[in-house]
Structure 1
Amino acid sequence: MIVPELTFGELGEGPSILSRLNLIGDVLLSFPTGNVDELPVAVLQTASCILDLSNENDTRKVKQLLDDGARRVILPAFSADEVESCGSAIEGLPAERLLVAIPAGAKEVRVSEIVEHWKTATSGYLWEVDATPDLDETLIVEKAKQIRQSIGDGNLLVRVVGGRLSVSLIRRLHEFNIDLVAPASGLSFDLGDSTKLNIGEAFASVLISDRSDGLFPTVVVDEQRVALGLCYSSVESISHALRTGQGVYQSRTRGLWYKGASSGATQKLLKISYDCDEDALQFIVKQTDPGFCHRNTRTCFGPDSGISHLAATLRSRKATAPAGSYTRRLFDDRDLLHSKIMEEAEELCNAKSAEDIAWETADLIYFALVKCTAAGVSLADVEAQLDRRARKVSRRPGNAKPKWDMSGKASNGSPVPKQTGASHDEINGLQEPISPRNGTRAEDEKKEIKMKTYIIAETTPEQRRNLLLRPIIKTEEIIARVRPIMADVRQRGDEAIFDLTERFDGVKLSSTVLKAPFPSTAMLLPQNVRQAIDQAYENIRRFHEAQLDRSVLRVETMPGVVCTRFFRPIERVGLYVPGGTAVLPSSTLMLGVPAKVAGCSEIVIATPPRKDGSVAPEVIYVAHKIGASTVVVAGGAQAVAAMAYGTASVPKVDKICGPGNQYVTAAKMIAQSDSSAMVSIDMPAGPSELLVIADSSCNPAYVASDLLSQAEHGADSQVVLIAVGLADADVAAIEREVKTQGEALPRAAIVRESIPKSYILRVDTMEQAMDFSNRYAPEHLILHLEEAENWVDQVQNAGSVFVGPYSPESCGDYASGTNHTLPTYGYARMYSGVNTLTFVKHITSQMLTREGLDRLGDTVTTLAEVEGLEAHRNAVAIRLKDIRAGRE
């Protein structure tokens, strides 16, 4: 195969080129002009590199380079005397990590001498050959074969200096287990670049397919090598995958398949490799939720198990564990967590039988993973640390720290920490808070409300792509927990709703529904609240009424052939309104008003009960105004299931709309994918988000207030400020306002979590700002710009746009007239927010006259014949026969 080569100077182009080349394996780093001492350690720790030191004469640094993470090191071909002098420097180093260079032009006797001197100290060789005009490909292969015979089974890399790379040379060398070093300057990820060798074609050149279609079976696995599914690849799809850094495969029926292009469940490509027979591929990917399978599960082979399943469960529990549960206590009480880690470590030390050791190890892993999850550390992060340590060749003594020294023991054999005047925290191994909201209120208040800052001119393409990513919160474990709830409601109906509401909400219901007409006592409101709802209702109604075109589209496509298109309302719709401790009449308005305007014959609202079992009067009042027939007094997955399948008291609906937490979103997706439910949904959902574009005309206080208006939604919310040409002082002013206003908010604790996860991106031009915004595709976009309305026509992707300094996002949330149920997580690229058309369907019709069928019939029969559908052809032909019989 090929081994891409980068020079030290080419690293200056940014780490993205190295990471992209690493997708197919090791990368050779050479130092023709640079100093290896200047190589950042981070490069070796994050990449898989072979370092070529064949131009160096100092081997003292080899050990350090291997410790730092170099996969292998290529040494100069010292003479016999020099080998003796450098022996101490490489003594004890693993031979499998060392290679030796065979210089260009070396005679056969010299090659034999090098091999003899180095055969026990190294595992292979790099042979360099000058591609002179009279040295063709065949001669290169023949010479490489001779060296292969000399060295036996060791690794052999061939670097051709001055020659043009070719697929045939890669393939011919590979026949003899020889790898070709390919300068990055001669490789291209661009399929249309005929001047360079396409890296996908180069990688695939050694593959073998025994299939008639030439495809390669491809096992897709995650970072822990858990199999997600089986696909097929072609040379073309491999090239596209390497070019985009995503999972791209070859569908046997639909051509190129960009995984997640329609579902949003995309994959970040981490590595491609082939198996020992070179007829199958492995794609290592980072899979986004809900997962790989078309059934919205993480794998095509069922749920995860073991440590990877535990890690996924803990990620979910961090966001959803109810107050008072043990898992929530572990996340919130750092002393408890640290005490449990210490306790389980001691019990593991004392365990003796195999069963007890396994049991205690499982306990310790559980609590260790809780700490990792709290700090945002993934299993992949832990494994990366293990891999880095495995590369080290230096070994430290590994003695215990003094306080854990077992030279003194208690009567039960447990270690006795040595009291040295250390603090209570030091003695018990306690650290500073490791996770959001894990400490005391005083500790939480120490967390600075400050956004990260990036300068676009100083970011690499890969960093800019990473800035487009959102926090991933929904996992396959959530779906696995929701499915039994959905099944329970489907089987037991109202009885299940009673039980689940008592279990999850702590509320014992007397009835699962409220039926219209709703009693006036359930809608008692202060006059100012009633007036505010009425005003918002009227504005929302006007805007959504204007969206509905009641006319019939009529087109005569040819004489005698008339096609029409007309709308009909979706008859029965279910509206999910989050609630419980919160009061959300705005969501009821945003969902209910367009449903009423569309003419839906039955509107069902589902909302969680308050602690006394009642529903907020604001929600009931809006339900009355929109003509809802039923209010389901339940929330979460059970409410979605009740509307999707129907129960004795809850009407079954045809479409479910509305926001909600991870469980609600998962339930909606499960219902939509269940053909027996026959229900659709409005859109996928994610955490709330907002992007502000601001120039020098902005008011820093206004900008900060808008950022905070979304940051207070939840710890997983994300807000972004694109600062266009702002001076340092202007950016600092906005940061001060964010801090000052944020600290004064009642929900400051949430803001302290969400704002540090958000960022400011400083750009130079509006073109850069609009390009980034359109690629980010925000739920809410605010334009704090001079003559902001002039830039609206440049918006390609956004849920809703707020134009100018006096258009805060809050107005759209409540009462301006637009809808606040919007696509998040980047889905604004392909979804609209909820609108009147969300609640209608369009039907087409066609009417052909006798003359119209006579004109069109031959076209239809011809196409039916092409497709081999004789009945289709006959349905027209039998009529044409009668029509044309009268003319004969």
Structure 2
Amino acid sequence: MFIPSLDLADTNQASLYSSLSFFGSVILQNGNVAQIKSLINQTGSTLYWTYASSIEEAIQLWDIGVLKVIFTLDTYRSIQSELADIGQDRIAVFAPSVANLESIDVSTYIIQDASDLAAISAFAKKTKSCLLGHGGEKSTVVQLENVTVESIAEYQSHQLDVIVPASRLSVNVDDKSGKLNIADAFLATAKTDRPDGLYTTMVVDEFNKALGLVYSSKESVAESIRLGQGVYQSRGRGLWHKGLTSGATQTLKHIDYDCDGDALRFVVEQHGAGFCHLNTRTCFGHDSGITALEKTLKERKNNAPAGSYTARLFNDPKLLRAKILEEAEELCDATDKEEIAWEAADLIYFALAKCVGAGVSLADIEKNLNKKARKVTRRPGNAKPKYQEPIVKQENDTGRIEMIKYNLNEISSQQRSRLLLRPIIDSTEIISRVTPIMQKVRQGGDKAILDFTRQFDRVELESHTIKAPFDPAMMELDPATKKAIDQAYDNIYKFHDAQLDKETLVVETMPGVTCSRFTRPIERVGLYVPGGTAVLPSTALMLGIPAKVAGCREIVMATPPRPDGSVVPEVLYVAHKVGASHVVKAGGAQAVAAMAYGTETIPKVDKIFGPGNQYVTAAKMVAQNDTASLVAIDMPAGPSEVLVIADMSSNPVYVAADLLSQAEHGADSQVVLLAVDLTPEHLKAIENQVHEQAIALPRCDIIRKSIPHSFTVSMKTLEEAMKFSNDYAPEHLILHIEDAAHVLPQVDNAGSVFVGPYSPESFGDYASGTNHTLPTYGYSRMYSGVNTNGFVKHITSQECTSEGMDLLGDTVMRLAEIEGLGAHRNAVAVRLADLRK
């Protein structure tokens, strides 16, 4: 693509500031920090690149909102150690040529001399294959003396971006000075396979929410850039200035295209009634979520119904302040996932009312978030004294996230035994809370479910059961999500279908005696999918697919409703694919009880599968032990856990990532590393990666609680490691060892095994094909993970001929005599008497 370059010392280029701010990458030259800060405030863009000659200047630039700082190669090398904590995507290097760049690990390479195209192209291809740590690819950029639309396209074919000085650019379509039109430069590397040459264009708002799908031409793109408005190409009416007649105009904010270059994206601020001719904000119906709330609040501010609560908030600043403080405190005190989501929604409502009342929009808030995200200098972040509680600093607390370390040769057998134990879970109190809920659902049926949903989920439902066929509108997904689910479905189905016993087992145990075994599906199964505010289609896949493969006649899926009373569309889509007959909008113990006992609208099931919190687990145990329910469950459950075995062949980055992927589940997650003959340096590298990766993760607060009670055990041999692993019996076992596949015969106890450096636990959690519902807490000694056989029952049969009766009858009669069961003996004796007359 083309990358415009602005010379801030050239006042003639000032007229292009607004037009070039629409693009994702713009290089700024010859400007000081104050000028650049002024430009960021003027245009609102935080996507600029600019040069710095020192680390101090670079920090200033990052802090004011510059996306990427460019260093000369020599400068970069002199301060490389000081840039260790700066993300790769924030750094570019300017070099005379590609020589000596192999050891430079940044996001962008700007090459001054583009004469050796073959060498630069080879370098670009190699660097693009090395993705950035947080996603995205590296880029190589060249400077050309004479830039044309053709040269931009040609260099793109070699995976090279081209710098175009703003002095060579124009917004005028009929420019006679020989300058490039900005739209032509932008579209030089865009693709279209349409016969009419139009470009598919997705129009989104400032929050990347789709407004509609349109088409663009070179003329419409050029006009959009020139006017700073949404202008498109109508296939029937020609150039289309959006809102010219309706007043629903669009202010252009940003323009780019996707990773393949075959679809444009216009980011706009939508004015008027909305984008659609039906007077809705989007062509996909009414707006929802936080943007819909903002619209409602703005309408209420201008025309609130007399006596409405929102009007009262706008007119009573003291009340609004009190409500914000109240909701903030309730959010801080909330502990349950659903409760936290509920309180956060309340706080957002009142906070947004404060913003709308002061004329502050969500777009204004997002601009400030973007600016703050660009900063690299961080304040201590301490609360004001009146909000702070005294903090008791723990001994040796350095703020570093690290595991406890042991050496197998230095601990006693008693200490080793203690390491194999899980935290004791006392379920007595939880069962005492769960049992009354179960009883009320058994007695009250649907009404009890609705009451508990109102109480625990704070959702008012008219009906909690959705029956198949499900409304397609409730399952609408974006193409990328649908494709991901479909691919995962295919892999999981293929693996679970192969597990099914499709042939009857027939064995003639002796002449005239034939025994057989055949499978039949469990008729009615219940699948519990945790959720509510979360999106967990993976669990729906892992439970629903084996039920479908087994041929279960009725599949009932239960999942908590979202705050608006709906079911997560990804989960409902999976329910549709696996053939579920009912989806129950309920969570917790009440959902388990509904499936175990049945209600007016929810069929009773024969077996319940699925993970959940401690209340769900306790409810499953209560149901299984209640003869009134006659229901089975898949397995007992405890906190999620992983055990990683690593030797000197392991990659510390991968090992740490696998440890953390399990540690983020919860504060009680169990994480164990068995270090096999690692050097102190190698082990230290893993420890450093654990800390560095953890502090960059969104669930770092949870990891700070789970990692400190997790542990590393160092040992000399792989045999010792396998013995420890089998004694521990982990849910997930990950082998970061040389020739890992050859160790599988030594694995006796594990829920699922992940073999080698490219088999992360995440694959098994989502899409490789194996099931992610696995035994925890050491139960892998005697339980399997969820599989197809869990959804079927095996029935045996036997058939004896007269010959078989004659040969086996005496044996059976004698055994019956020994046990004193005369009727059993008689059942054989009367037959033998007839045969032996």
Report the TM-score, using the length of structure 1 for normalisation.
Answer: 0.51
2:391 and 2:577 map into 1 onto residues whose CA distance is 55
Structure 2 equivalent of residue 792 of structure 1: 744
Structure 2 equivalent of residue 721 of structure 1: 673
Structure 2 equivalent of residue 684 of structure 1: 636
Which amino acid is the alignment partner of residue 519 of structure 1? D
Which amino acid is the alignment partner of residue 576 of structure 1? Y
Structure 2 equivalent of residue 500 of structure 1: 452
Which amino acid is the alignment partner of residue 461 of structure 2? L
Aligned-residue offset at 1:526: 0.5
Find out whether 1:844 has 2:796 as its counterpart.
yes
Structure 2 equivalent of residue 871 of structure 1: 823
Aligned-residue offset at 1:449: 1.1
Structure 2 equivalent of residue 479 of structure 1: 431
1:447 and 1:657 map into 2 onto residues whose CA distance is 40
Structure 2 equivalent of residue 643 of structure 1: 595
Structure 2 equivalent of residue 458 of structure 1: 410
Structure 2 equivalent of residue 63 of structure 1: none
Q: What SS is found at the alignment partner of 2:754?
A: strand
Aligned-residue offset at 1:322: 7.6
2:393 and 2:336 map into 1 onto residues whose CA distance is 20
1:803 and 1:505 map into 2 onto residues whose CA distance is 40
Which amino acid is the alignment partner of residue 615 of structure 2? Y
2:536 and 2:814 map into 1 onto residues whose CA distance is 58
Structure 2 equivalent of residue 746 of structure 1: 698
1:598 and 1:729 map into 2 onto residues whose CA distance is 50
1:429 and 1:558 map into 2 onto residues whose CA distance is 79
Which amino acid is the alignment partner of residue 882 of structure 1? D
Q: From 413, 432, 436, give the equivalent of 2:392.
A: 432
Q: From 718, 726, 739, give the equivalent of 1:766.
A: 718
Q: What SS is found at the alignment partner of 1:816?
A: coil
Structure 1 equivalent of residue 419 of structure 2: 467
Structure 2 equivalent of residue 262 of structure 1: none
Aligned-residue offset at 1:883: 1.1
Which amino acid is the alignment partner of residue 628 of structure 1? A
Structure 2 equivalent of residue 571 of structure 1: 523
Report the TM-score, using the length of structure 2 for normalisation.
Answer: 0.54
Structure 1 equivalent of residue 657 of structure 2: 705
Q: From 549, 561, 566, give the equivalent of 2:513.
A: 561
Structure 2 equivalent of residue 237 of structure 1: none
Q: In the TM superposition, what whole-angstrom CA distance separates every residue of 1:9-30 from its partner, at most 9, and x where no partner exists?
A: xxxxxxxxxxxxxxxxxxxxxx
Q: What SS is found at the alignment partner of 1:729?
A: helix
Q: In the TM superposition, what whole-angstrom CA distance separates every residue of 1:43-99 from its partner, at most 9, and x where no partner exists?
A: xxxxxxxxxxxxxxxxxxxxxxxxxxxxxxxxxxxxxxxxxxxxxxxxxxxxxxxxx
Q: State the aligned residue count.
A: 462
Aligned-residue offset at 1:525: 0.4
Q: What SS is found at the alignment partner of 2:836?
A: helix
1:689 and 1:615 map into 2 onto residues whose CA distance is 29
Q: From 719, 728, 735, give the equivalent of 2:687.
A: 735
Query: Are the aligned partners of 1:473 and 1:662 in contact in 2 as well (CA < 8 Å)?
Result: no
TM-aligned CA distance change 1:844 to 1:622, over 3 Å? same
Q: What SS is found at the alignment partner of 1:517?
A: coil
Structure 2 equivalent of residue 200 of structure 1: none
Q: What SS is found at the alignment partner of 1:841?
A: strand
Structure 2 equivalent of residue 210 of structure 1: none
1:593 and 1:753 map into 2 onto residues whose CA distance is 35
Find out whether 1:524 has 2:476 as its counterpart.
yes
Q: From 532, 535, 547, give the equivalent of 1:595.
A: 547
Aligned-residue offset at 1:472: 3.1
Q: What SS is found at the alignment partner of 2:462?
A: coil
Structure 2 equivalent of residue 70 of structure 1: none
Which amino acid is the alignment partner of residue 746 of structure 2? Q
Structure 1 equivalent of residue 224 of structure 2: none
Find out whether 1:856 has 2:836 as its counterpart.
no
1:321 and 1:473 map into 2 onto residues whose CA distance is 20
Which amino acid is the alignment partner of residue 807 of structure 2? R
Aligned-residue offset at 1:878: 1.0
Query: Are the aligned partners of 1:474 and 1:662 in contact in 2 as well (CA < 8 Å)?
Result: no
Query: Are the aligned partners of 1:447 and 1:752 in contact in 2 as well (CA < 8 Å)?
Result: no
Structure 2 equivalent of residue 543 of structure 1: 495
TM-aligned CA distance change 1:669 to 1:749, over 3 Å? same
Aligned-residue offset at 1:473: 4.0
Gaps of 5+ in 1: 1-316, 326-423, 436-444
Aligned-residue offset at 1:471: 2.4
Q: From 807, 815, 829, give the equivalent of 2:767.
A: 815
Structure 2 equivalent of residue 783 of structure 1: 735
Query: Are the aligned partners of 2:338 and 2:533 in contact in 1 as well (CA < 8 Å)?
Result: no
Which amino acid is the alignment partner of residue 697 of structure 2? L
Find out whether 1:805 has 2:754 as its counterpart.
no
Q: What SS is found at the alignment partner of 2:668?
A: coil
The residue correspondences of 1:411-430 to structure 2 (distance < 5 A) are: none
Query: Are the aligned partners of 2:514 and 2:798 in contact in 1 as well (CA < 8 Å)?
Result: yes
2:412 and 2:339 map into 1 onto residues whose CA distance is 42
Gaps of 5+ in 2: 1-332, 342-383
1:482 and 1:318 map into 2 onto residues whose CA distance is 20
1:568 and 1:765 map into 2 onto residues whose CA distance is 46
Structure 2 equivalent of residue 667 of structure 1: 619
Q: In the TM superposition, what whole-angstrom CA distance separates every residue of 1:139-195 from its partner, at most 9, and x where no partner exists?
A: xxxxxxxxxxxxxxxxxxxxxxxxxxxxxxxxxxxxxxxxxxxxxxxxxxxxxxxxx
Query: Are the aligned partners of 1:685 and 1:824 in contact in 2 as well (CA < 8 Å)?
Result: yes
2:812 and 2:423 map into 1 onto residues whose CA distance is 51
The residue correspondences of 1:108-127 to structure 2 (distance < 5 A) are: none
Q: In the TM superposition, what whole-angstrom CA distance separates every residue of 1:774-794 from its partner, at most 9, and x where no partner exists?
A: 001110000001111111111
1:323 and 1:473 map into 2 onto residues whose CA distance is 23
Q: In the TM superposition, what whole-angstrom CA distance separates every residue of 1:460-514 from its partner, at most 9, and x where no partner exists?
A: 1111111111223452100110000000000001111011111111111111111
Q: What SS is found at the alignment partner of 2:592?
A: helix
Structure 2 equivalent of residue 25 of structure 1: none
Q: In the TM superposition, what whole-angstrom CA distance separates every residue of 1:493-548 from its partner, at most 9, and x where no partner exists?
A: 11110111111111111111110000000101000000000000000010011111
TM-aligned CA distance change 1:323 to 1:611, over 3 Å? closer
Which amino acid is the alignment partner of residue 464 of structure 2? T
Identity of aligned residues (%): 66
